[in-house]
Chain A
Amino acid sequence: MTPDLVGGLESPDYASHDRAAHEPYAPVFVGDVKRELDELLTRYPTRMAVLLPALWIVQRERGWVSEEGMVEVADLLELTPAYVKGVVTFYTMYHQHPVGKYFIQVCTTSPCGICGAEDVVKAFLRHTNAGELGLTSPDGRFTVIEVECLGACGFATPVMVNEEFIESVTPEKVPDLLARLA
C-alpha cells in the first residue's frame, strides 16, 4: 500500500518519545510473566505460534513493542529478530513507538462514516490537543488515530481508549469522556 493511503498510522516525528528507547533494557519475561509464557507454549505444537501472544505481553508490560523487546521475544521463541519485526510490522495493533497514556482509536470506516464519525475524530483532536492524527499531545497523555472497522457498526461511533471499548460516541460526548480519563 502507498504511504499516503495509510492515514495517520505512519505519521513521522516520534522524536520526542524516543528517550525511553535509550534507557537500558530490562527483560519483560521474568518471574510470573515468564511462567505465563511457558503456559502459553503448552497450548500450541510450535514455539512460533506463541509469537503474537508474546508480543501482546510485551505491549501490556511496556506500553509498546521496542526493538529490544522484539529481540527478547525472538530469542525465547527461537526466531530471528528480523522475522519478529516482519510480523510486528504486519499488524496494526502493536505500537512500534511509545504512544500517549491514552491511545484513542476512532472508527471511521463506511458504516460509522455515514453516521458522522469524521466529526467525532475532529472533536477528539480539538479537545485532546493532539494536533494531528497519530501524534501525541504535548502533555504526553493522548494519541488519537483513525482505525478501520472496530466491528461495532450498530453502535456508531465506537471508540477504543486503550483496552476500553466505548459505544455510540458523538462529538458532544467527547469532552465528558476525556474528563473522565483525566
Chain B
Amino acid sequence: MGYPNQPHQRETPVLSRYFGDTEARSLAGWKKRGGYKALDKALGMAPADIVNVVKESGLRGRGGAGFPTGMKWSFMKPGDGKPHYLCCNADESEPGTFKDRELMRWTPHALVEGCAIGAYAIGAETAYVYIRGEFTEPLYWMEQAVKEAYGAGILGKNAMGTGKRIDVHVHKGAGAYICGEETALMESLEGRRGNPRIKPPFPAVSGVFGMPTTINNVETLIAAAPILMNGADWYKKMSLSNPKSTGTKLFSVCGNVQRPGTYEVVMGFPFKEFLYDLCGGPPHGRKFKAVIPGGASVPIQTVEEAEATLMDYEGFVAQGSMLGSGGVIVIDDGQSMVSVIARIARFFAHESCAQCTQCREGTAWTTKIMERIRDGQGTIEDLDTLLDIAEQMTGKTICVLSDSCAVPVVSGIKKFRGEFEALIQGRRFHPVIAAVA
C-alpha cells in the first residue's frame, strides 16, 4: 500500500491493505477485518483440498526462488508416521528487501493465520517462525499475536475448537544472512551454526530435526488466507502478463528514489510506470542509472532494461535479471557503480559462512579487488581476474551465496564496463551534477 506513502490508485492492496493501521495488530482488530475466517474454513477442509486450491491459484514462493507453493506442499506425504514441521522464513536479510518486516509489524495475526493454515495443509502440528534477531519490532508484534492466539484458543492442542493441534512458535535469529537459506535456517533452528546442508535430501524428506519439513516465506504463507477465502480463480486472474505468474506481489523500494516504501501490485505490472508513477521517479534533477530489482543478489539492470520490464517472474528474466525477493534497489546517476558493487561484494564476504572454499575465498578476493579498483589502484587485468573468480564461484558450492556475490560483479562489468575502465585509467568518478539542487 505504498507504505509509508499514500496508497497509489494503481496498487492492488491485498496483503498490504492494513499497513499503517495500528488496530489491525490486535486479535480483536484483526477479527473485525475478517481475520481467522480463512483458518476456520481451512480446518473444515481436507488438507489435500487446501493444497489443491493453492496449486490451482498459481501461487509461487515469494522469498526469491519462485517455486510453486502448492507443489511444495504436496511433497509432504500424509500418514508417514513422522512428525511434520512448517518453518516460516522470516529471516528477511536480502539487502533491499523489507516487505516481510512490514507484513509482520502491521499484520502479525495474518502470519499466525497463514502459518496455521500451512501447518494444517502439510500435516504438521508445529510451525516455527524464524525471525532475524535485528527485527525487534516484528518480533515484539509476532510474540504478542501468538500469545493472543493461544489465549483465544486459536492455537494449541484444540485449535479453533476442532480438536486439532496447531502450535506456532517464534524463534529469534542472532545475526546471520545465511540463515535465510532454507537448510541453514533449519540448522540454526536446531541450535547449530548456520551452515547450509547439501541437498538432497530435500527438506520435504529430511528437514528440521530430521523430519519432513516445508519452509515458506512470510508473504507466501500470508497469501494463502485470501486465496482460500476468494478462490483460486480470483487469484489466478490477478495477472497482467502470463499465467505462470499470478496474484499480487509486494515490492519494497529503496535507494535513490522519491518515495521509497512497500508497494503491492498485480504480477506483470509495467516496471517503468512503477518506478516513475508509484515511486515518484528519481530525486530532483537526477536520472536513474541502474536498478537491482530483486535484492542484492540478482543481476543489475540498466535503466533501459528496467523500463522495458513487466514485473513478474518471467518478465525480469527476459530483461536480464530476476524477480528475487522483490527488493528493488534504485541507483541514480550520482552514484559510482563500482562503489555500489564493491559494497555488495563486502556484504557477501562478511556473510559467507566460510564452509565452501570457493565462497570463503572468492567473496573475500572479489571484495579486495573491487575496492582496489574503486580506490583507483586497479589494473585492467583485474577485470578478467574478477570474471574468472566469478566463474569459479558459480554453481560450485553448497548454497547460492557464492553465486549471489558473483552475479552483481559479472552483470556490473558487463553493463557498466566504462565506469570500471575509467577508474582504472586514473579518471576519478565524477557524479553527474544534479541540474536542480
Contact = CB atoms under 8 A, between A and B. Distances in A.
Contact of A113 (B98, B101, B343): B343
B136 A46 contact: no
B209 interface: yes
Interface band, chain B: 35 or more
Given A52-B172, A93-B133, A114 B191 contact: no
Contact of A114 (B93, B136, B335): B335
A111 B364 contact: no
A115 B350 CA distance: 21
B347 A149 contact: yes
B213 to A, nearest CB: 12
Interface in A80-109: 86-87, 90-94, 105, 108-109
Contact of A152 (B101, B190, B256, B339): B101
Interface in A152-182: 152-156, 160, 163-165
A17 to B, nearest CB: 20
A110 B329 contact: yes
A49 B335 CA distance: 44
B343 A1 contact: no
Interface stretch (B35-43, B174-182, B301-309, B314-322): B174-182
Contact of A91 (B135, B175, B296, B354): B175
A115 B176 contact: no
Contacts of A79: 191
A92 B83 CA distance: 32
B254 interface: yes
A57 to B, nearest CB: 11
A43 interface: yes
Interface string A51-72: 1110110000000000000000
A151 to B, nearest CB: 5
Contacts of A45: 83, 209
B343 A48 contact: no
A50 interface: yes
A15 interface: no
B255 A115 contact: yes
A153 B191 contact: no
A148 B347 contact: yes
Nearest to B292: A110
Contacts of A165: 134-137
Interface string B11-30: 00000000000000000000
What are the 5 A-B residue pairs with the smallest beta carbon separation, nearest first?
A51-B191, A93-B175, A153-B254, A91-B174, A92-B175
7 contacts: A48-B192, A56-B174, A87-B191, A94-B175, A108-B343, A110-B296, A153-B254
Interface of B: 4, 83, 92-98, 101, 132-137, 167, 169, 171-177, 188-194, 209, 252-256, 260-262, 296, 327, 329, 331, 335, 339-340, 343-344, 346-347, 349-354, 360, 363-364, 367-368
